[in-house]
Structure 1
Amino acid sequence: MSEIKKVVLAYSGGLDTSIIIPWLKENYNNPEVIAVSGDVGQGTELDGLEEKALRTGASKLYIEDLTDEFVDDFIIPTMKAGAKYEGYLLGTSFARPVIAKRIVEIALQEGADAICHGCTGKGNDQVRFELTIKAFAPHMTIIAPWREWNIKSRDEEIDYAEAHHIPLKISRETNYSKDKNLWHLSHEGLDLEDPGNEPLYNKPGFLELGVSPEMAPDKPEYVELAFEKGVPTAVNGQKLKAAEIIAKLNELGGKNGVGLLDLVENRLVGMKSRGVYETPGGTILYHAHEVLETICLDKETSHMKEQLAIKFAELVYNGQWFTPLRESLSAFVDKTQETVTGTVKLKLYKGNVQNAGVWSPYSLYSETLASFGESDYKQAEAEGFINLFGLPIQTKAILEEQRKNK
């Protein structure tokens, strides 16, 4: 510990990282602590962070604007892949590598001896941070206080904060473990730890990105999304960059009660955990993209992409973003997206996202071919197809019949 003179801390200003600065001072022979916060669209959570970091012992605070990189290089590639982990749209999962990558860059620039994070020993985030650190600074020392200190609960963390006069934005009653970025907001802990408890969606202050479906307007709202090669480019005819599109969709989806997910998921470390996720804009974006692909992708490509999406999601969830396999899967996805261009119209109503139309210059859908009306399709030719397609089934039945009759 005496060799650790300078530590770069992944700093959010939340409960965990708020107490880590004085804890490092007390337990690592008073090293210099440089705090780094990655702005991935969490908004007002960054307000007052510098004053707090300095007041609790940091020598400086970097606040790095990573929002566009987060969206363009992590969110959009994952969305194009159609990757979902057990239904979860990976909000926290792909925010960690972009933050950790920038922290490593600053740690190397500052000549730091170690990088510290506030992830618990029970969670996935410790893996996501540390695999990224290993990818860009393989010899860097990593400090994970939750795997070292004697603090056993969030209540004990609050006790430590109060004893060290560290201001907190939470109380023991509102002490949910939350993670917020442009893409989503997650809620864990307290009453949610019992899967038998219904989430308190209508409790004041619980939901932050939107409202519960029953509190949404009684009138549906329509939204049109344009895509070019799988990338969203416009909302309701207004061209915007991807980060702005997500922000706009968060607003539209949130007020219509879209994007709430109550999930018991399988963590990488082996246990199940229960979380509630708010992903209003992401839910709309995924849905629109999937609808557009239904008319732009052929069957074999679409089905293979669905299979690989599971693996893609596992890689993201498990912190393996910076790996050859993830890069290879992204290359495959990019190839599939060459014709995923067009417009999708959706209807938002009380938590539901319903299809209201889809158009593409690369559509593979032929109305005349599929029509129940008159078309050039020769229905008699289906008999030969069925005979060949059913040949193994028919042959097996005939042979079994012959054996039975012997």
Structure 2
Amino acid sequence: MTTQVAIIGSGPSGLLLGQLLNTQGISNVILDRVDGDYILGRIRAGILEQGFVDLAREAGVAERMDNEGHVHEGFELSMNGERTRIDLKTLTGGDTVMCYGQVEITRDLMDARQAAELPTYYNAEKVTPHEVKSDKPYVTFVHDGEEYRLDCDYVAGCDGFHGVSRQTIPAEIRTEHERVYPFGWLGFMADVPPCNHELIYAMSDHGFALASQRSATRSRYYLQVPLTDKIEDWSDERFWDELKKRLPADVAATMETGPSIEKSIAPLRSFVCEPMQYGNLFLVGDAAHIVPPTGAKGLNLAASDVATLFKIMTRVYKEGDKECISQYSDIALRRVWNGERFSWWMTSMMHDFGDDLSGGNNMEPLMYKRFMESELNYYLGSENGRKVIAEQYVGLPYEDLK
């Protein structure tokens, strides 16, 4: 079996890359160790930067997003009940974000790939890249008990934090940076109208909370919880009670509650692997970097990786320029590190670190808390400060190739 680009992983980054490559006539095969239903069952973020929205349109998968998604021109930051709106559109000169669930964009991409009859192997076992430093890399895998060899020109590792792609880069070549936070996010989804028409990120003495949404009738909420907590510790009633303590009082007083349709606890970490390229293997998305969800950068950083790799592959196959492939890691990492810093910054300001000494900052915990409160007060109280937050939240422009 042969193809031009072998894509390992059928999450949104792998699917988006495959769809974009197909628009340029660049053949690709997607391999994944799980099935499509499992992927669609993973509840993830739903805020898309303009760059992601533009890529979805370029890939021809934006019709439902444009019809059902909600454009958000701002969001709110609440500090002990005091609400400040970050007017994205005004502060950035016109930029906005799109509220459209990751599950939905993944479903749209799956449907488009199936309609185009592009080869996808779900439940592929023993997926292994080989000879990625050579001009003739290949990937072996087992599907339905049969062994396959997929010869290709390039391998895109879109297989997440626990995937095989990053491990293909020799340990002495890669450097991994990691910060594990001393708390997690308890996510709660319910079929009730959102408590606010825009997102609210809330910092309080009870801990962090986020009021998010999936549609006009479905809400997604999050609470900062200790890593030792279990789902069974949190009844629906306890969740709603705690959420109301952390959100502004006027919002809590009018919010509708209802039974959960999904609950999960996710740990938070900052993670970056350098480099993001090894020979003809390229790491994309969670395979190379993880961010705390504060700031909505995870999926959007993956999209910027896809945009850069798509530009490279297009130049390689349309112009015969193979020299440009060496630019991938440097370009991708510049945007990754910026997104990592913003996510860390938002997390540090909005969460209660308790006695953790705030991740090794070597200062008394209450002192660090006061520093972060002062930091947040400064940025929210200044138009220039709000502009910095807005520009980071909508996402920096994608970088062009040299």
TM-score normalised by structure 2 residue count:
0.26
Specify the structure having the higher radius of gyration (Cα): 1
Structure 1-normalised TM-score?
0.26
With CA pairs under 8 Å and 6+ residues apart, which has the higher RCO, 1 or 2? Answer: 2
Higher helix share: 1
